[in-house]
Amino acid sequence: MSDLVTRLRRHNWRITPQRRVIAETLEGSHVHFTAEQILERAVERMPELSRATVYNTLNEMVALGEVLELTFDGRSKRYDPNADHEHHHLICEGCGLMKDVHAMADPVDWLPGDERHGFTVTRASIAYRGLCPECQAAS
């Protein structure tokens, strides 16, 4: 019983076998998988699982606010089960490696009122970029 499944259950959202496998595949990892990677892994446990269900399910979990959708490169979206812990990301520009990081301040507090253009600002995420140790050595 994964923590993500527990959180999903609270939204009286039907936990079908397919949805459970997808959620457990996401939760089991400490990385940020693409939809295709999730399909690839989930299919090992449920071979008849379809691509459409993976995409539908991920989109629903994002809509419920229990999974984050990350789009740092222009390539595939990545899915992050860690939606209940505020955090940011550190991305290697060499190899794409992505780490969770925690900043010392909430960036929303650093946006002055006259820079808000009348918006209601609900959240902010920081993308830190640099080179990981391996890519530093390689260059």
Partner DNA sequence: TCCTAGCTTAGACTAGGTCTAAGTCAAGAT
Partner DNA sequence: ATCTTGACTTAGACCTAGTCTAAGCTAGGA
Any known ligand binding at 57? Answer: no
N residues, the chain: 139
Alpha-carbon span 63 to 65, nearest angstrom? 5
* Token duo for residue 7: 């959180």
Sites for its own copies among residues 70-89 (CB under 8 A): 71-74, 76-77
7 binds DNA (CB under 7 A): no
> What's the maximum distance between 2 C-alpha atoms anywhere in the chain?
54
1, 10, 30, 122: residue in contact with its own copies (rule CB under 8 A): 122
* Radius of gyration (C-alpha) of the chain in whole angstroms: 17
Residue 78 near residue 33 (C-beta atoms within 8 A): yes
Q: Which amino acid is at 79?
A: Y
Given Mn ion, Zn ion, DNA, none, residue 49, with its beta carbon under 5 to 8 Å by kind, binds DNA
Per-residue contact flags (x/-) with DNA for residues 38 to 57, judged by CB under 7 A: --------x-xxxxxx-xxx
Tell me if 49 sits within 8 A of 39, measured CB to CB: yes
36 binds its own copies (CB under 8 A): no
DSSP state of 139: -
Residues 10, 47, 85, 110: which binds its own copies (CB under 8 A)?
110
Which residue in the set 15, 31, 63, 95 belongs to the binding site for Zn ion (CB under 5 A)? 95
Residues lying near its own copies in the complex (CB under 8 A): 69, 71-74, 76-77, 90, 92-93, 99, 101-105, 107-108, 110-112, 115-133, 136
